[in-house]
Each structure stands twice: as structure tokens, then as C-alpha cells.
A and B are shown apart, each in its own frame.
Chain A
Amino acid sequence: MLETLTDNWDLFVEAFRTTVLLLIVSGAISLVAGTLLGAMRVSPVPALRTAGTAYVTLLRNTPLTFVFFFVAFGFPRLDIRFSYFAFAVVALSAYTSAFVCEAVRSGINTVHVGQAEAARAIGMTFGQTLTQVVLPQALRAAVPPVMSVIIALAKNTTIASGFGVMEAGAIGATLNERGYPAFDAMIWVAVGFVIVVLPLSLTQRRLERAVVRSR
């Protein structure tokens, strides 16, 4: 059991590094894209709202595995060729930004109506109201739900293992080929994920309580 880990320490480190890299890159892209989408969905321009809503509805009702399928197998048929890692980033970001958008929007909805009304009353434009009054408060309220989305993203990176990316989810199959018990390998992968995800979950819960208390 233990030698499955110790013999292949390099593989574990390499794979988990890829997982964390996937998490950071697609996390950063999703945060930016999701916030933009959230702003689109509350904007005064109907076309922007419709476009944002359509994107979010479509992506939220699609399995992530299918998004991976479309990107990793479909894009090459369209003569779009990147590395498997880049494909995984595209799939994860496209999917996660829809969920970040919803988290941000729920944050905007928690900001008291009076805040926006007061901002308007002193003559601020939509852009000013949003960036100087509503978003700073909304983002604070949105931190716990966004954290949940990021935790889900951390777990979702394992799907990339089915689409050519050598990350933590693929350790079992790789070690199986090397003649090590795949079950033991996956136990260690599970331990690794608990180590990565549990601190995130605990922080998230503390932040959640802090936001509730501050109100």
C-alpha cells in the first residue's frame, strides 16, 4: 500500500502539480469571465442581458464531461489544435464561469436596494453605481458562494484525466499499467484531494459565517 506511493512519488507530485495548475489557470479565467458575465446579466442593455442569460443557461445545463468531449474531440475536427492541457483549461473555464456568474449575481442581489438608490440619487451612472457602490459590497457577499464554485472546480479538474491530461485523476490508470494496484493509488489520490480541498472548505465556511455576522 505504502510503496505504491513511495515508489511513484515523482508521478504523484507531477500529477498533483498539473491539477493545481489547472485549478489556478482555469480558476483565474473563470473569475474574470464570470464577473463580466454577471455584470452583463444585470446591465441595462437587453441584448447584453439576453446574451449572458443564454450562455449561463446553456452551460449550466450541460454535463462538464460533455463540454470536455466537445472541446477535446470536436475542436480538432474544426482544425483547432491545442495541447490537451489547453483544451482542459478551455473546457473548465467555459463551464465554471457560468457558475461564477451566478454566484456573483446572487451576491449583487444581497446588496440592499437603498445602496443602489442612494448612489443613483447623488447622480452616479450605472457604471459608477456598479463599480463603486454595489460591486465592492456584492463581491464580499459573493466570496463564500464563489469559493464553493472554486472548490467544485478543484474536484472537476479530475475529469481532464479522461481527455489526455496527466493529472491526479489519471494516476490510477497510469500505475495500473506499471503493475501497481490501481485501487491503492486512488486511495492516495483521495488523500491528496482531502488535503487540497478540506482547508478550502473550512475557509469557505468561516467566511460564510463572517459574512452573515457582518450583516
Chain B
Amino acid sequence: MSTVLYDAAGPRARNRYRLYGLLTTLAVVAVLAYVVWKFYDTGQFSGRKWSIFQYEQVQRTLLSGLGNTLKAAATGAVLALAFGVLFAFARLSDRAWVRVPAGLVVELFRALPVVVMIFLIYYGTLANAGSASTFWSVVIALTIYNGSVLAEVFRAGIAAVPRGQSEAAYAIGLRKSQVLRMILLPQAVRAMLPAIISQLVVLLKDTALGFLITYRELLTEARQLASYGEFEFPTIPVAIVVGAIYIVICLALSLVATWLERRNRERGRRRTADRNVQMGAGEPDAGA
């Protein structure tokens, strides 16, 4: 829609845009050149630094780090989705003693930094049990934070389902739990799928917080590799490789979210169009 901000450029404007484009390109090239020069100047391109990736041990370490990142993300995602559905239902309950505490829990956990929750769980179990699992500290913290956010997403999604749906369901004699489970939730999930996946990207990114309590995920392993003196402390090469891994995984998930969003929109439009045809073209329609 941003294209309405400006007219199709005339000859003078086109020249001006070309000039700005050139200046931008020059600026970007200058920045990149500075970065490359800085890398070169401090010896980041030395073969010794990069040779670390040739060793099978190092490759295994990176893979195991990646595996731990994905394991925490997958466990956290499943638990957070369950937590989200549970608390969304609880917040929609007719009974105040269920609704109010659930609301408080969700509001509280959304206000707390994940880092603080990780430390709370970690130190808490450390003090009570003598030892603490870094894996579960990360997973539980990610579950309650993202679960609380997802609970709000589900709730918004359920609220956005047209009222006729639940009215019709009640009219054919379904109970409230049936209406929620069979009628509202499936429609809400489909409408909110892009938002849900975006939140899962956030969850995946936040597994890197395990670094702070030395859970052996990708970033913790990266720090380990970066400290090897015999490879001239390859912080930058390791960071480039690890950063690329993160970006590829998150970008792939984000692209799924955008694709779903586009598909939803197109489907909604098609359905509206079909209905318009049935009702007679040009009939006003509130759908989609």
C-alpha cells in the first residue's frame, strides 16, 4: 500500500531517485567495505582461524549444540501450545474463580523477562534439590512465557470468530466445552496460525538465553569454540557460522508464517467472492 505515497516518477524525479539510489548503494558498499577491511586488518580471514571447521570434533560440537537448541525449542513449543490453550480456555470460563486467577497468571508471566524466569527456576531448583537441570530451566521458562503470550493469541482468535458460529452451536445443543473445542478453537487456530508461528520463532530465538545458564545449546558451544587459542581465538568466524545457522532456521519458519498469512487472506477473499455470487453480485458483505 506504500505505493500511494508517491506518484509514478517523472523524468526529473526519476533522475533524482537514481541519484539517491546511487548514494545509498555507495553508502552500503562503503559500510560493507569497512567491515571487510576491518576483518582483514585484524586477521579474521587467516586460514588458521577458519581451519577450526575442518575438524570432525568441532563439527560434532556445533551439531550437538544445534540439536540441543532444537530440542529445547521443540519441547518448549509443544508445552507452550498446551499451556496457551489451557489458559485461554480458563480465561473464557464462566466461573470467576477460574477466570480471574488464570488472567492474573497470564498477565504476570507476560510482564516478567524470560531471563528472570530462567534464573528463578534455575536458582530455585538448585537451592531445593542441590542440582538443577539447565535444559528444564530453559524449557519451563520458555513454556510459561510463550504459553502466556499464546493464551492471549488464542483468546483473541476465539473472540474474532463470528458470533453466529457459537450461537448456531449452542442452538443445536452443544455444551460450552464442546462449542469451544469443536467449533471455536479450530477456526481460531486457523485464523491465528501466522501469529502462533511468529511466536514460535520468538521461542526458538529465546532458546539462546540458555547461554546465560550455560545450557549447552548452539551459542554456548560457540563460545567454547571461540576460546580456542590454538586457532587464534576464532570468535568472528564462529559467530558468522552460528549466526548464519540461526538466521536460516528462523527465516524458514518466518516464511512459513508469511505464506500462511497470504493463503488465509486469499482464501478469505475467495470465500467472500463466492458468497457474493450466491447472494447476487454487489451485495454488501461483512464477511472476511
Q: Which residue of B lies closest to A54 (CB)?
A: B28
- CB within 8 Å for A62 and B243 given contacts A77-B235, A161-B115: yes
Are B123 and A176 interface neighbours, CB within 8 A?
yes
User: A120–B7 contact, CB under 8 A?
Assistant: yes
A113 at the interface (CB under 8 A from B): yes
A81 to B97, CA, bound (A): 55
Give the Cβ gap from B262 to chain A, nearest Cβ, in Å: 15
Is the CB of B239 closer than 8 A to any CB of chain A?
yes
Interface centre among B25, B116, B126, B250 (most CB of A within 10 A): B116
Q: Which residues of A contact B211 (CB under 8 A)?
A: 65, 69, 162
CB <8 Å contact, A74 and B5 = no
Tell me, in angstroms, the Cα distance from A47 to B38 when the chains sit together: 24
Whether A117 touches B4, Cβ cut-off 8 Å, given contacts A61-B250, A183-B123, is: yes
Contact bitstring A108-136, B, C-beta under 8 A = 1, else 0: 11000100110010000010011000100
A189 / chain B contacts, CB cutoff of 8 Å: 116, 119
* Nearest A residue to B23, CB-CB: A47
Most buried by A among B9, B38, B112: B112
Q: Which of A69, A70, A73, A182 contacts B119 (CB 8 A)?
A: A182
> Residue A158 at the B interface, CB < 8 A?
yes
B172 interface hit (Cβ, 8 Å): no
B145: nearest residue on chain A (CB-CB)? A155
Residues in B with CB closer than 8 Å to A80 are 38
Size of interface on B: residues with Cβ below 8 Å to A: 59
A80 to chain B, nearest CB (A): 8
Chain A residue nearest to B26 in the complex (CB):
A47
Given contacts A51-B28, A63-B206, contact A190 B251 (CB under 8 A): no
Pick the contact of A63: B117, B119, B208 (CB < 8 A). Answer: B208
Asked whether B124 is an interface residue with its Cβ less than 8 Å from the other chain, the reply is: yes
24 cross-chain CB contacts under 8 A: A45-B17, A45-B21, A47-B21, A61-B201, A62-B205, A62-B250, A66-B239, A66-B246, A69-B219, A69-B222, A73-B235, A73-B239, A77-B42, A78-B38, A78-B42, A80-B38, A108-B2, A134-B5, A158-B113, A162-B211, A172-B119, A182-B119, A190-B112, A197-B112
Give me the 9 closest cross-chain CB pairs, A-B, nearest first: A63-B208, A155-B113, A61-B250, A158-B115, A65-B208, A42-B2, A47-B21, A47-B24, A182-B123
Question: Could you list 15 further interchain pairs (A-B, Cβ under 8 angstroms) beyond the known A105-B2, A155-B114?
Answer: A44-B5, A45-B20, A63-B208, A77-B42, A77-B44, A79-B38, A79-B41, A80-B38, A113-B1, A116-B5, A129-B6, A161-B212, A172-B119, A176-B123, A189-B116
Which positions in B face A, CB cutoff 8 Å? Answer: 1-2, 4-7, 9, 13, 17, 20-22, 24-25, 28, 38-39, 41-42, 44, 107-108, 110-117, 119-120, 123-124, 126-127, 201, 205-209, 211-212, 219, 222-223, 226, 233, 235-236, 239, 242-243, 246-247, 250-251, 254
